[in-house]
Amino acid sequence: MQSVDTLIHAAYIIPVEPEGLVLERHAVAIDQGRVVALLPSAEARHTYEARHVVERPEHALIPGLINAHTHAAMNLMRGLADDLPLMTWLGEHIWPAEGRFVSPEFVRDGSRLAIAEMLRGGTTCFADMYFFADETARAAREAGIRAVVGLILIDFPTAWANSADEYLSKGLALQESLRGDPLISTAFSPHAPYTCSDAPLAKMAMYAEELDLPIHMHIHETADEVTQGVEKTGQRPLARLDALGLLGPRLAAVHMTQLTDAEITRVAEAGVHVLHCPESNLKLASGFCPTARLAAAGVNLALGTDGTASNNDLDLFGEMRTAALLAKGVAGDASVLPAAQVLRMATLDGARAFGLEQLTGSLLPGKAADIACVHLGALETQPLYHPISQLVYCTGRHQVSDVWVAGRHLLNQRRLTTLDETELVAKAREWQGRIAEFR
């Protein structure tokens, strides 16, 4: 018998590749952090001798979910300023609070709180955009979760940097320090067209090409953003970015609620990825990303939650359901964004957006053992006819029982193994007192 580290038996394995496949009464064999094989449980028991055997007879194993757009440290601002339009929310509440409180300590504590929430919801990888990304990277590495940390670029000074050149310099230094890290990668993260001027963006695009790094940016989030961009530059923001050479397969464009047919065609031709954050867009009344039209044009679509200051959770199961239902309502077509496609958006397509599809996002031999285990035996998910539809349309994140990242068991029957829940709650309450006093 072949020796492996772990053998997980489950009622279902949904590998995502090929799309729609459901394997019943199968097991996944894991060794040295990688998937070795998917095979029927009876066969696995005679083929592999495992140091750890996990039995989950009422569960589905899926690739760990990939949260393609977060601001993890903003977990400490959850519910700080609700029911406001985007620019009022930013200018009068979020930016002043950030100016007062953002620090290495704030980012470390907020990121750890966010990571714990994401792990408990089946997320094994997140793409982040925030200041002091070195602290986010450290928190992710210590917890054992996979992360794409953002190398921030913005025109105005913050606690992290005073000028565009300093943002780029610090980002490049961080990227170099993380080179070769098995869990942490980087992406340039210019905030938005309205907060980044042409010269820094052009310089960043050059660095991205040289270093082969993705670019992760808010684009066309609201109608006001587009209108103001036209008034200021004479171009819609997407056209301006195109002229600067940013449109291409490196670009992961967040939100994209304001798109013409011509822009959808251009995005598809350029190979731009779109990171869809349906619940944040709904809460801020930003608009509707035309996901059905983008998908029909061949654009890669991934799912993100945004930060908890504008969502107010990091629940990708909720985002999957909202994305599927919203797409049908906007398109007037119940067949668009079916469940299997939405599950792929939350897994493999998120990996593709950041160049990680050879490493994670599906359960195939040779890929990282990034796995979420979901209990489907509860009353709320019975009867069970179609496991993938059940996962998207009626499963809650509280049904995630276990999570592995690179074969490491980070959530074991709802218990975090690398983070102290009591300590995290105490830290959150401490920050609540400080921020509430400021308000």
In a domain, 20, yes or no: yes
The stretch 262-278 carries a mean pLDDT of 98
What digits encode the pLDDT tens for the residues 166-206? 999 999 999 999 999 999 999 999 999 999 999 999 999 99
Banded pLDDT at 270 (limits 50, 70, 90): very high
pLDDT of 87 higher than 90: no
| DSSP H or E run through 162 | none
Question: Does residue 238 lie in a domain region?
Answer: yes
pLDDT for 438 equals 80
SS3 112: helix
Q: Which long-range contacts (CB under 8 A, 24 or more apart) does 322-329 make?
A: 322/278, 322/279, 322/282, 323/276, 323/278, 323/291, 324/392, 324/393, 326/278, 326/282, 326/288, 326/291, 327/291, 327/292
* 219 and 87 within one domain: yes
Q: Which residues pair with 26 in a beta bridge?
A: 10, 40
Q: What is the mean pLDDT of the chain?
A: 97
Domain range for 395 = 2-63+367-406
Co-location of 50 and 76 in the same domain? no
| Percent share of the chain, pLDDT over 70 | 100
Categorize the per-residue pLDDT at 333 as very low, low, confident or very high, splitting at 50, 70 and 90: very high
- Residues 276 and 383 occupy one common structural domain: no
- The token duo for 40 is 């029927």
Please indicate, yes or no, whether residues 242 and 187 belong to a single structural domain of this protein.
Answer: yes
Query: Same domain for 308 and 349?
Result: yes
Domain check: are 40 and 102 in the same one? no
Query: Which among 267, 137, 235 has a CA at the least distance from the CA of 189?
Result: 137
98 with 36, same domain: the answer is no
Q: Is residue 430 part of a domain?
A: no
Residue 358 lies in a domain: no
pLDDT at 312: 96
Residue 139 placed within a domain: yes
Give the residue carrying structure tokens 């997320």: 123
282 and 396: one domain? no
Handedness of CA 32, 37, 41, 44 (dihedral sign): negative
The stretch 300-313 carries a mean pLDDT of: 97
Residue 420 lies inside a defined structural domain of this protein = no
Collapsed DSSP state (helix, strand, coil) of residue 128: strand
**What is the torsional sign of CA 259, 90, 218, 334?**
negative
The predicted model gives 65-88 an average pLDDT of 95
Give me 96's structure tokens. Answer: 């002043």
Per-residue confidence at 418, pLDDT binned at 50, 70, 90? very high
With bands split at pLDDT 50, 70 and 90, how would you rate the model's confidence at 85? confident
Which of the four pLDDT bands, split at 50, 70 and 90, describes residue 118?
very high
Sequence-distant contacts of 426-432: CB under 8 A, at least 24 apart: 427/109, 427/112, 427/113, 428/75, 428/76, 428/109, 428/113, 431/76, 431/101, 431/106, 431/109, 431/110, 432/76
Q: Which of 309, 331, 353 is the last residue before a domain boundary?
A: 353
Q: Is the dihedral of CA 122, 124, 130, 132 positive or negative?
A: positive
Q: Which residues does residue 353 pair with via DSSP β-bridges, in sequence order?
A: none
Residue 23 lies in a domain: yes
Q: Are residues 301 and 158 in the same domain?
A: yes
Q: What is the pLDDT of residue 437?
A: 84
State how many domains the chain has.
2
Q: Are residues 56 and 74 in the same domain?
A: no
Q: Are strands 65-70 and 123-128 parallel, antiparallel or unpaired?
A: parallel
Q: What is the mean pLDDT of residues 407-436?
A: 97
Structure tokens at 109: 């504590």
15 in the same domain as 57: yes
Q: How many CB atoms are located within 10 Å of the residue 283 CB?
A: 18
Q: Does residue 426 lie within any of the structural domains?
A: no
At 112, phi and psi to the nearest 5? -65, -40
Residue 59 amino acid letter: H
Token duo for residue 34: 């990688």
Asked if residue 439 has pLDDT above 80, the reply is no
Going 26 to 351 to 78 to 220, the CA torsion angle's sign is negative
Output the pLDDT for position 403.
99
Q: Which amino acid, 321? A: R
- Domain of 220: which CATH number? 3.20.20.140
Percentage above 90 pLDDT, the chain = 97
Tell whether 92 and 161 lie within a shared domain: yes
Question: What CATH number should be reported for the domain holding residue 59?
Answer: 2.30.40.10
The three-point CA angle 213-218-219 to 5° equals 105
**pLDDT on residue 74:** 97
Query: What's 363's DSSP letter?
Result: -
